[in-house]
Amino acid sequence: MPRESKKARKERAAEVFRILHEEYPDAHCELDHEDPFQLSVATILSAQTTDVRVNMVTPELFRRYPDAPALAEAEQEDVEEIVRSTGFFRNKARNIIGFADALVSEYGGDIPRNLKELHALPGVGRKTANVILGNAFDINEGVVVDTHVKRLSRLLGFTREKTPEKVERDLMPIFPQESWTLLSHLLIWHGRRVCDARKPACERCAVSHLCPSSRV
């Protein structure tokens, strides 16, 4: 494929976004939650596992610990038992209790609305902070780069990078800031439904004609 100019890449990116938005008009975060606190905890639990798995444990977790003050007072062993099936359950239990405790002691139980303060909380990396800001508060501070977003961005030729931070850095200039949260949802939905990691269904892909990695 000939070297693509920055202008051509932005135009292709806009067309990919437009088509995927038509394909998935209801694309959204698939972690079940009712408020910013629940979303934050679910996102921390989602590391190295699926949204489906997290959604299996959070109903009981939030029934017993419905808010930050309640979770901050939880016994770690009790939380570990609830979240065990999500993997790395000891670290995750410690993180979500620490997260809740920090919310109570530093923010009166409320979720901060900026990247720097969120990032400083236990269990919250840049990806988690972007998920919270974008989905709880409609604040587009960055692009959420999970395994699907990284893989599809590389296949689509939007980046050659391998780390989430560098992939995000490549995506941000070619998509409008107001679209960053939705962009992640669209790529994740497409990755889960069509562009499978083991066997991408290029023949069913609505953007195959715009993808330099297409097999059709």
Q: Which of 146, 150, 166, 199 is catalytic?
A: 146
191 touches 148 (CB < 8 A): yes
127 is catalytic: yes
Q: Which of 127, 138, 150, 162 is catalytic?
A: 127
42 touches 29 (CB < 8 A): no
110 is catalytic: no
Return the structure tokens found at 145: 């780069």
195 has which bridge partners?
A: 200
For residue 76, what are the contacts with CB-CB under 8 A and spacing of at least 6?
A: 90, 93, 94, 97
Whole-angstrom distance, CA of residue 70 vs CA of residue 205: 46
Active-site residue list:
127, 146
